[in-house]
Amino acid sequence: MIFIDQHTHSQFSPDSRMDIDSAIKKIDEINLGYSHKTNGKSLSIGGIAFTDHLDLEAPRSNGKFNFNVAEQQREIELNRLKIESYNSQNQIKIYKGIEVGLQLCCIKDSLDFIHQYNFDVVIGSVHFIDGLDPFVGSYFLDKGYKSAFGRALEVIYQNIVAFKDFDILGHFDYVTRYSPYDVKDMKYKDFGDYLDPILKFLAENGKALEINTKSYSKHKNGHLQELDPNILKRFKELGGEFITLGSDAHSVERIGENFEKFATIAAECGFKKLTYFEKRKPHLIG
């Protein structure tokens, strides 16, 4: 199966350790392994979206989570031209993207920012909850897991309704990556009342739900996080059509990470085809 990675970060994201050129070279290696069936590889990457960070008013960042979109897009165009010059039947596609960190305090400014440019895909994500960053850990102080996870989902819903102009909801269960509790996974049975408004909004507005494969790897709390398939099934029940796969790669090693596994899970939940975006329009693949 050919996959398109809809969520990656290049040198234009301050926390990324890969550049666009090295990412393209890595994909060539992956696809060469696929074409020769070496080492049992079954992964083929047909495209990649570079969705660099825009987090206006991010706590403690001093503006570093803002990037020169025009420069990023020029770099993408240069790599597109290089690829088009290859004499190859298997040319990969490169997509212009952005990951907008949503906060109610800067919805208008974020919208004004993205409307200056033409993107293939816009991811809307929540990284900060009530001005606190779960990555640091202070967010979890004086909260139990239900209130911590539940509040994160409330904030996601508030922000996507306010922002609206996005294509993919990124890592809806981001908060659980850094869970200090015994409970470290988000289950539909525990958080359905919080998840349903989010999933319903996405379904009714033609938005995609992302399976962020970085979320389901081992984190600094030592836990190998699991995706609850019941969340995908509920999205389908509510009329959701679009599921994307995003590695959230900040280094070349993670491009396309575990895509085969999660494509199988998505199919078992009723999503026989995955989605990618080009010129802000959804396309099915698979």
Span 196-206, pLDDT tens digits: 999 999 999 99
User: What homologous superfamily does CATH list for 2-285?
Assistant: Metal-dependent hydrolases (3.20.20.140)
> For the packed helices 229-237 and 188-204, what is the interaxial angle rounded to 10 degrees?
40
pLDDT tens-digit series, residues 139-182: 999 999 999 999 999 999 999 999 999 999 999 999 999 999 99
Compute the distance between CA of residue 139 and CA of residue 157 in angstroms, rounded to an integer.
18
Say how far apart CA 187 and CA 191 lie, in whole Å. 6
Question: In the prediction, which pLDDT does 91 show?
Answer: 78
| Residues, the chain | 286
Q: Map out the domains of the chain as residue ranges.
A: 2-285
What's the pLDDT at 41? 54
The amino acid that residue 19 corresponds to is D
pLDDT at site 38: 46
Residue with tokens 């015994």: 182
**Any alpha helices (H) in 85-187, and if so which ranges?**
107-114, 145-163
Mean pLDDT along residues 260-276? 97
Closest CA to 4 of 256, 260, 272: 256
Q: What is the mean pLDDT of the chain?
A: 92
Sorting pLDDT into bands at 50, 70 and 90, what band is 40?
A: low
Q: How far is CA 54 from CA 65, 85, 86, 93, 97, in A?
A: 5, 32, 32, 23, 11
The CA distances from residue 148 to 79, 85, 232, in Å, are 42, 51, 22
Backbone phi and psi for residue 143, each to the nearest 5 degrees, phi listed first: -130, 145
Question: Is the model more confident about 137 or about 152?
Answer: 152
In the chain, which residue ranges form alpha helices assigned H by DSSP? 20-36, 69-84, 107-114, 145-163, 188-204, 229-237, 259-268
pLDDT band with cut points at 50, 70 and 90 for residue 61: low
Which whole number is the average pLDDT over 210-226?
A: 86
The separation between the first and the last C-alpha atoms of the chain, rounded to the nearest angstrom, is: 7
Lowest mean pLDDT across 133-137, 209-213, 244-248, 270-274? 133-137
CA distance 123 to 146: 26
Radius of gyration of the CA atoms of the chain, in A: 18
Res. 60: pLDDT tops 80: no
DSSP 8-state class, residue 207:
P
Whether 15 and 55 have beta carbons less than 8 Å apart is answered as no
**How does residue 63 score in pLDDT terms, banded at 50, 70 and 90?**
low
pLDDT above 60 for 37? no
Within 8 A by CB and 6+ apart from 200, the residues are: 238
SS3 content of the chain, % helix, strand, coil (to 5): 40, 20, 40
Q: What is the pTM of this model?
A: 0.94
